[in-house]
Amino acid sequence: MIEFWLNDQHIRTSSPAGLPLLDFIRYDQGQTGTKIGCREGDCGACLVLEGRLQHGALHYHSIVSCLTPLVNIHGRHIVTIEGLGTVAPTPVQSALVDHAAIQCGFCTPGIAMALTALCLSGETLTAERALAALDGNLCRCTGYQSLKRATGELFSKLPAAPADRPIPWLIEHGFLPAFFSKMAERLAAISPFAPEKASAPVLVAGGTDLFVQRPDALLHTVAAPFRNAPEWSGIRIDGDRCTIGAEVTATEILRHPGLRDRFPNLEAYGHLIASTPIRNMGTLGGNLANASPIADWAIFFLALDSTLVLHGPGGWRELPLSRFFLDYKKLDLRPGERIAALRVDLPDADMRFHFEKVCKRRHLDIASVNSALSLRLLNGRIAQARLSAGGVGPTPLFLEATSRFLEGKTPDAEALKQAQAIAQGEIRPISDIRGSATYKRLLLRQLMAAHFLEINL
């Protein structure tokens, strides 16, 4: 039995664990304000809020309901457009109306939910972050200028710091209905999920890869054993060593204060990855296990000294991330084995790190080519180098020969030129929808130059 709250309504359902939340909301509950657009996480028409208790506190963020299986929302609070503005339009809804940011209205519920998630966000607000809240929403008719103006007005009305706009403040100022005040207590009363035994379960984490690839096959077979288990979740930093649980989402990585300290551009890199709701859902483990040659986190962590912690019927083992990807979609993962965590050495004062990605459009696109470089500099020379590249081979690549070549060199234009030539021998790009093989070779050359420029060599 899956149990959660939908707006102000308590739900207990025996619907299939793999049923997309979108279908449950619309067809089981008859709440049609949540729209069906792409069903692939791209358009944001199906966006809802997900609230969950973490260490006794209630946190909300946006998710796309088309890629969320019911099993993932047990114990959560789901808010749809029907759950907002129950008495009068909220300031979010009023801003959209006042700035004529609505034409056909198909995208509007998703946009209202994305902006409400911004109000509830645990981040200190800036104008840039306010605009980025809509990076997962497409509008085909109004045009984005009026949406920008509505977002700007909303931003000017909100206190910047999360501590100054807690849930009671948002209720008092009409952003949320009163029932939000009861939610922490209501969610705390829900017992942990007791999964039914499926014979050959398909394991789901965030669902953002699986539910794009084969949603129909998942209806009765999906299981979420990773969900909420302490050994698969959380980020722990001990000196220069960091352990990131497989269940940790992209948003959790990007917002982690300890990681932001070590990667000063982390927030900017985050804007290159998917969109706000997809980052709220997609996990590190899913990104690595999906084995896409352009997986952003695979490329990011291959350029650092990273080791996977794997757990399966044979017990625990550790494996360097660079040895995990065997061939196209083939992993060194034994039957029944799962990724529990990733251990990584964080950059220290002598290290420089940079991540780059080129895709066909700025937001919400996967890479044509992506790459990361880390360098340890000692006395003006490169003491240690790790270069990774995606989209230029059947797996995410650690470019070992190029990395070894750079070690001991002075980081200058000549070293870069020779490294670029060596890298060309290590890659095997193919022509596809993301670009010709020749173009991808050119991109990697340019991204390597960008690494050298950005880390001020």
Residue ranges that bind ligand FES, judged by CB under 6 A: 36-39, 41-46, 64, 66, 102-108, 139-142
Question: Applying CB under 6 A, which part among 6-14, 199-207, 300-308, 427-435 lies near ligand FAD?
Answer: 199-207
Question: For 317-325, which contacts have Cβ atoms below 8 Å and span 24 or more sequence positions?
Answer: 318/343, 321/288, 321/398, 322/398, 322/400, 324/288, 325/291, 325/298, 325/395, 325/396
334 binds, among ligand FAD, ligand FES, none (CB under 5 to 8 A by kind): none
Nearer to ligand FAD by C-beta: 309 or 415? 309
Nearer to ligand FAD by C-beta: 147 or 248? 248
Whether 203 contacts 213, CB under 8 Å: no
| Alpha carbon distance 322, 43 (integer Å) | 34
Q: What are the distances in angstroms from CA 212 to CA 66, 284, 456?
A: 9, 17, 40
140 binds, among ligand FES, ligand FAD, none (CB under 5 to 8 A by kind): ligand FES
Q: How far is the CB of 101 from ligand FES (least distance, A)?
A: 8
Residue 406 identity? L
Nearer to ligand FES by C-beta: 364 or 419? 364
Q: Is 341 in the site for ligand FAD (CB under 6 A)?
A: no
Question: Using CB under 6 A, which residues numbered 21 to 50 contact ligand FAD?
Answer: 40-42
Q: How far is the CB of 143 from ligand FAD (least distance, A)?
A: 22
273 binds, among ligand FES, ligand FAD, none (CB under 5 to 8 A by kind): ligand FAD
User: Would you list the DSSP string of 147-191?
Assistant: HHHHHHHHHHHS-SSGGGS-HHHHHHTTSS-GGGGGHHHHHHTSP
What lies within 8 Å, CB to CB, of 279 at 6+ separation is 249, 250, 251, 254, 270, 273
142 binds, among ligand FAD, ligand FES, none (CB under 5 to 8 A by kind): ligand FES
List the one residue out of 356, 342, 264, 247 whose CA is nearest residue 304: 342
- Which 8-state DSSP code applies to residue 25? I
Region label for 207, one of left (φ > 0), alpha (ψ between -120 and 50) or beta (otherwise): left
Q: Which residue has the tokens 């940079």?
A: 354
403: enclosing H helix or E strand: helix 400-406
26 binds, among ligand FAD, ligand FES, none (CB under 5 to 8 A by kind): none
Q: How far is the CB of 91 from ligand FES (least distance, A)?
A: 19
Q: Is 204 in the site for ligand FAD (CB under 6 A)?
A: yes
Q: How far is the CB of 29 from ligand FES (least distance, A)?
A: 17
274 binds, among ligand FES, ligand FAD, none (CB under 5 to 8 A by kind): ligand FAD
Q: How far is the CB of 20 from ligand FES (least distance, A)?
A: 9
Q: How far is the CB of 167 from ligand FES (least distance, A)?
A: 26
226 binds, among ligand FAD, ligand FES, none (CB under 5 to 8 A by kind): ligand FAD
Total residues at interface with ligand FAD (CB under 6 A): 31
Q: Is 66 in the site for ligand FAD (CB under 6 A)?
A: no
What lies within 8 Å, CB to CB, of 242 at 6+ separation is 235, 236, 258, 259, 343, 344, 345, 346
List the one residue out of 126, 174, 121 whose CA is nearest residue 152: 126
Nearer to ligand FAD by C-beta: 190 or 289? 289
Question: Applying CB under 6 A, which part among 6-14, 86-94, 203-211, 405-413 lies near ligand FAD?
Answer: 203-211
Q: Around Cβ 426, how many Cβ atoms within 10 Å?
A: 18
Can you list the positions of beta strands (E) in 211-254? 222-223, 235-238, 241-245
Nearer to ligand FAD by C-beta: 33 or 225? 225
Question: Using CB under 6 A, which residues numbered 270 to 309 contact ligand FAD?
Answer: 273-274, 278, 281-283, 285-287, 289-290, 295-296
Q: How far is the CB of 28 from ligand FAD (least distance, A)?
A: 23
| Alpha carbon distance 326, 291 (integer Å) | 9
Whether 131 contacts 148, CB under 8 Å: yes
| Alpha carbon distance 59, 217 (integer Å) | 32
Q: How far is the CB of 312 from ligand FAD (least distance, A)?
A: 9
Nearer to ligand FES by C-beta: 66 or 321? 66
| Alpha carbon distance 307, 220 (integer Å) | 34
List the one residue out of 78, 60, 90 whose CA is nearest residue 21: 78
Q: How far is the CB of 108 from ligand FAD (least distance, A)?
A: 20
Residue nearest to ligand FAD (CB): 286
Residues lying near ligand FAD in the complex (CB under 6 A)? 40-42, 203-210, 212, 226, 246, 273-274, 278, 281-283, 285-287, 289-290, 295-296, 338-339, 364, 366
